[in-house]
Structure 1
Amino acid sequence: MKTRHQRGVVWVIALALFALAACSGSSKEESTSQYFDSSIMATKVRAAIVADPELSSTDIDVATFKDRVQLSGFVDSAAAKSRAGQVARSVDGVRVVDNNLIVK
């Protein structure tokens, strides 16, 4: 009976380790918690861009991966492109901004 119990414990531990490994990230994939953190960061960046009075365009898309933000879409001027990058950098947690906005 003790051996059967030990095997059960081993299976539970193995299953827990497998579950943890499935949630871990890599250099090309985010872990579950990193995915949620990125989603929150993207929402904060979008809100900051919408709230900025110098940025009237709503054609700005925000994508995040870990601490990196990518801006894409269209703006009316080079000044708006620059301002969008500044606003994105000002959000807590943002380390890198890839400003791929296109001036119409």
Structure 2
Amino acid sequence: MDHYRNYLTAILLAFAMVTVGCAAPDKQQTAGEYIDDTVITTRVKAAIFDDAELRVNEIKVKTFDGVVQLSGFVSSRANIDRAVQLTRSISGVKSVRSNMIVK
């Protein structure tokens, strides 16, 4: 399982690198700030993926200047609380905005 987690982390980091090269931020940021936000997004997605209670495909993650926005449809209020808690525990996260909805 640990090998699978390392493989997933490598894929997420590769995705983050491609995203950095292809995407333009909505507002002006330095390259360092944009990379920091991409790393935060990748770490949040990995934490959600590693959590047995949450489904990574249900939750969308966006980060701008350290503010993480979570959106999507989840199964319960407990899942929303868990996703917010996990996100707050990630280094570099300044605040969390939750736009998740219980389906």
TM-score (norm 2): 0.71
Which blocks of at least 5 consecutive residues in structure 1 are unaligned? 1-27
Identify the residue that residue 32 of structure 1 maps to in structure 2.
31
Equivalent residues in 2 for 1:59-78, closer than 5 Å: 59-78=58-77
Equivalent residues in 2 for 1:1-104, closer than 5 Å: 28-56=27-55, 58-104=57-103
CA contact (8 A) 1:57 1:75 kept: no
Identity of aligned residues (%): 47
Q: CA deviation at 1:56?
A: 3.2
The letter for the 1-side match of 2:93 is V
Distance, in Å, in 1 between the alignment partners of 2:30 and 2:93 is 17
| 1:80/1:67 CA distance change after superposition, 3 Å | same
Partner SS for 1:94: coil
Q: Give runs of ≥4 in structure 1 deviating > 3 Å.
A: none
- Aligned length in residues: 77
The letter for the 2-side match of 1:77 is S
Which of structures 1 and 2 has the bigger CA Rg? 1
Partner SS for 2:57: coil
The letter for the 2-side match of 1:63 is K
The letter for the 1-side match of 2:99 is N
The letter for the 1-side match of 2:70 is L
Distance, in Å, in 2 between the alignment partners of 1:66 and 1:58 is 24
Q: CA deviation at 1:57?
A: 5.2
